[in-house]
Amino acid sequence: MSMPFHIRFRLSAMMFIQYMLIAAWFVQLTAYCAKLGMTGIQMALISSSMALGCLVSPIIGMIADRNFASQWVLAVLNLLTCVLLILSAQVTAPLPLFLLLLVTMLCYMPTWGLTSSIAMSHSPSEKFPQIRVFGSIGWVAAAVFSLAAKKLWDATIDGTAVPLYCGAGVALAGGIFAFFLPHTPPPAKGQKTSVTDVMGLRSLSLMKNWHFAVLALGTLVATIPFSAYWTYGSAFLSNKGFQYLTATMNWGQFVEMFLMLLVPVAIKRLGLKWTIVLGLLALLVRYGAFALGNNYSQDPLYYTAILVHGIIFGFFYVGGQIYVDRKAPKEMKAQGQGLLFLLFGVGLLVGNFFNGWLIDRSTVIEGAAKIVNWQPLWNTNTAISAVLVLVFAAMFRDPLAAKGAEPAKEITEATEAPRG
């Protein structure tokens, strides 16, 4: 399946805008909340707005599958995100800000699954990483707002409401641009809609397939340690004296841009299964590096932990998306992607509070200062990652993910009996 340049360009630009949107404001959100004087619990709740947003992804997937063209749904969600970010920038009280950002994420997070579904509808699944890489480029490029503010006006916008306005501007651009995306009609249009469909629960039927269930549950479990870095990595690095946190952590996304292009090569040479396992091994390397770096005060190991982000996200998460596209029936592809992001959201939610609990257990008060012992956090997540690698490698044996397996155009039966 060849892809005309104008289609590739629009799909790539879609990814660029969609991931620049979130990076423009979410990476700096914790610093903003801290300057507003919020407590740790309040910041944890606000950080979990992303996870909660993932929970509605299958419902949006159902809407796209059965009722409306996917690009129109994407346009509406982006325009709503624009309005909500503008409103969020104008409040400072914890509860109103949390509620506004929660609704913002309920609109924004389903767009990850939608953009993946739109891209895969107009390109071979093996070409998807070449399009998705522009999301990583957009994420890194979001730093342009803070750099431009410093260069042009000598202003520091980190830790202020300005990034929320920047995100709103990108959301507006994304909403308008979505109307010019390739038409992606609802593949399940005309089929009866049940309560199961309305709740987005039909995608759970995919879990009846053993291999799909292993991949899905592996995604959920992997996101628990993933959230330790995602949510608390900046706090840890700040504690270790790192400056320019956004720029430092964005090195992971910078490397991801190049590693994403190696995903098709890895799939061809290793098969989807071992490509995904490599992503899990990188997760183990990340937390092993944090654990050893913290224990022996070795800063280079922290950079190792940051730089493997591209392998984790590209090989594991994007590899998982490609597997879902191969495995799910045509009329459930968008819901299948939504289910994957729902599990990503549940994992983030569980991980945020589990890892927060580990941090609280390891925090002591000395005078007016809070001293955090980070070692238990990294040791625990290293252990979880190690067990996950072994279990997943042993239990995920779908022939569709083996080396040399041909991409399936459509798997009409996603609930087949488990295979050895």
**pLDDT of res. 222:** 96
Q: What is the pTM of this model?
A: 0.75
Q: What is the rounded average pLDDT of the residues 112-127?
A: 84
Highest mean pLDDT among 57-61, 102-106, 145-149, 320-324: 102-106
Q: Could you report the per-residue pLDDT of 83-103, keeping only the tens digit for each? A: 999 999 999 998 999 999 999
CA distance between the termini of the chain: 32
Which of 122-126, 227-231, 287-291 is the least confident region?
122-126
pLDDT for residue 271 is more than 50: yes
Which of 120-134, 163-177, 383-397, 400-414 is the least confident region?
400-414
CB 52, CB 352: distance < 8 Å: no
List the structure tokens of 108. Answer: 């924004």
Structural domains in the chain (count): 1
Q: Which residues pair with 372 in a beta bridge?
A: 363
**pLDDT of res. 402:** 67
Q: What is the rounded average pLDDT of the residues 406-411?
A: 45
Q: What proportion of the chain, given as a percentage, has pLDDT over 70?
A: 88
CA distances, 258 to each of 131, 136, 144, 230 (Å): 12, 9, 20, 20
Of 224 and 370, the one with more pLDDT: 224
Q: What's the pLDDT band for 412 if we cut at 50, 70, 90?
A: very low
Exposure letters 387-397 (e unless 16+ CB within 10 A, then b): ebbeebeeebe
pLDDT for residue 123 is more than 50: yes
Which of 288-297, 354-363, 373-382, 405-414 is the least confident region?
405-414
Determine, yes or no, domain membership for 321: yes
Highest mean pLDDT among 48-57, 179-188, 302-311: 302-311
Of 165 and 201, the one with more pLDDT: 165
Q: CA–CA separation, 406 vs 410, rounded Å?
A: 12
List the structure tokens of 115. Answer: 């953009």
Q: CA–CA separation, 331 vs 25, rounded Å?
A: 34
pLDDT for residue 2 is more than 90: no
Q: Could you report the per-residue pLDDT of 352-388, keeping only the tens digit for each? A: 888 888 888 887 877 766 788 999 999 999 999 999 9
Determine, yes or no, domain membership for 409: no
Q: CA–CA separation, 123 vs 126, rounded Å?
A: 8
**pLDDT of res. 193:** 63
Determine, yes or no, domain membership for 340: yes
pLDDT for residue 297 is more than 80: yes
Q: CA–CA separation, 134 vs 112, rounded Å?
A: 13
Q: What is the rounded average pLDDT of the residues 127-138?
A: 86
Q: What is the rounded average pLDDT of the residues 265-275?
A: 88
Residue 363 phi/psi, 5-degree rounding, is -110, 135
Helix (H) or strand (E) holding 372: strand 369-372
pLDDT for residue 82 is more than 90: yes
CA-wise closest residue to 157 among 231, 85, 21, 148:
148
Looking at residue 75, its amino acid is A
Determine, yes or no, domain membership for 244: yes
Q: What is the rounded average pLDDT of the residues 192-211?
A: 72
Q: What is the rounded average pLDDT of the residues 22-45?
A: 78
Q: What is the rounded average pLDDT of the residues 382-400?
A: 92
Instruction: Give me the chain's average pLDDT, please.
Output: 84
Q: What's the pLDDT band for 415 if we cut at 50, 70, 90?
A: very low
Determine, yes or no, domain membership for 187: no
**pLDDT of res. 138:** 92
**pLDDT of res. 160:** 85
Of 420 and 162, the one with more pLDDT: 162
CB 381, CB 228: distance < 8 Å: yes
Q: CA–CA separation, 124 vs 137, rounded Å?
A: 21
| Residue-range definition of the domain harbouring residue 327 | 5-180+197-401
Q: CA–CA separation, 311 vs 275, rounded Å?
A: 9
Determine, yes or no, domain membership for 188: no
pLDDT for residue 40 is more than 70: no
Q: CA–CA separation, 38 vs 41, rounded Å?
A: 8
Of 204 and 192, the one with more pLDDT: 204
Task: State the CATH number of the domain containing residue 132.
Answer: 1.20.1250.20
Determine, yes or no, domain membership for 192: no
Q: CA–CA separation, 391 vs 383, rounded Å?
A: 12
Q: CA–CA separation, 92 vs 350, rounded Å?
A: 26
Q: CA–CA separation, 388 vs 251, rounded Å?
A: 26
Of 320 and 61, the one with more pLDDT: 320
Which of 75-84, 145-154, 292-301 is the least confident region?
145-154
**pLDDT of res. 388:** 97
CB 245, CB 237: distance < 8 Å: yes
Q: CA–CA separation, 62 vs 52, rounded Å?
A: 18
Determine, yes or no, domain membership for 335: yes
Q: CA–CA separation, 54 vs 45, rounded Å?
A: 15
Residue 302 phi/psi, 5-degree rounding, is -65, -40
pLDDT for residue 110 is more than 90: no
